[in-house]
Amino acid sequence: MKPTLLILAAGIGSRYGGVKQMDKIGPSGESIIDYSVFDAIRAGFGKVVFVLNPKIIDDFKAIYEPRLKGKIEVDYILQELHNIPEGITFNRERIKPWGTGHAVLVAKNHIYEPFAVINADDFYGRHAFDLISGFLTKVSNEDASYAMVGYKLRNTLSDHGTVSRGVCSAEDGLLTDVVERTSIRRQNGDVVIDDHGHNEVIDEDSVVSMNFWGFTPNYFEQSERDFRAFIEENADQLKAEFYIPFVVNNLITNREATCEVLTSNDQWFGVTYQEDKETTITRIKELVDEGKYPKSLWG
């Protein structure tokens, strides 16, 4: 059974200033998503599922349905605020969705095989897809053996502002802890975490999560349990978010799952900020010139 790729593409891009999921960065108008799907197909994935915001789904489908038709099976899901377990109420003034953990959970009734999770605006590189595909083809649906592609922190920074990264700890190749840090940047030669105005220096060779995970369908039941508890605790909050690492940490702590760390030494790049776009265009062109991607992915 071929694995599925779940792409989290529901963000509107407040820091970027636009809908970056569809922004053109390739020589023939490709987006970062196009390169991720292309790499996934080469790595043996059989289906791609997009998690989208209702505001962009029509424009999104108009672009990607023609491109991907006949290339790979495609499905679309909406991440909506009210899509939560029955019997739970929350602050009706809340507008912001519930975060990446919730974005994965809305795919519960659309994925029935081992699957990978990625962000729409991160370029991961072919090696990462080969790594995760190799892992997913060896696990069964009932397994609680998961994986994460980790990157060196220094290879994942933006020159134009702070980034959010899951800082990881591992032992014997297995993840022991991942902490979501939402404000990391390079400053005066150091890499620092801005913790409410207090700068904490962090080793730039630390392994971080770029939200590239490998799960089995068993994960949906486990995350739904944690999500219910999260909503009950944060029902009145307007901005509290349910992150994937919350679930993974709980599973590891309670010995309900293991998570293998698959390390990539590739240089990450993406479009967190509008200023990142030109750098990303240049790097894509370099990869095309090196023959790693065709000039036109779908042509």
Q: Which structure tokens are listed for 204?
A: 């730039």
Q: What is the pTM of this model?
A: 0.91
Give the pLDDT confidence of 104-142 residue by residue, as tens digits: 999 999 999 999 999 998 999 999 999 999 999 999 999
Quote the crossing angle between the two packed helices 244-253 and 218-234, to the nearest 10°: 110
Cβ–Cβ < 8 Å for 83, 106: yes
C-alpha span between 166 and 178 (Å, rounded)? 6
| One pLDDT digit (tens) per residue for the chain, 299 residues | 899 999 999 875 544 444 566 789 999 999 999 999 999 999 999 999 999 999 889 989 999 999 999 999 999 999 988 888 777 788 888 888 889 999 999 999 999 999 999 999 899 999 999 999 999 999 999 999 999 999 999 988 888 788 888 899 999 999 999 988 888 989 888 999 987 777 889 999 999 999 999 999 999 999 999 999 998 899 888 989 999 999 999 999 999 999 999 998 888 887 777 788 888 999 999 999 999 999 999 98
Task: Provide φ and ψ at 196, rounded to 5°.
Answer: 55, 45
Q: What distance lies between CA 153 and its chain's CA centroid?
A: 16
* Angle at alpha carbon of residue 136, lines to 135 and 142, rounded to 5°: 120
Superfamily of segment(s) 4-289: Spore Coat Polysaccharide Biosynthesis Protein SpsA; Chain A (3.90.550.10)
* Angle at alpha carbon of residue 51, lines to 45 and 54, rounded to 5°: 150
4-16 burial string, b = 16+ CB within 10 Å, else e? Answer: bbbbbbbbebebb
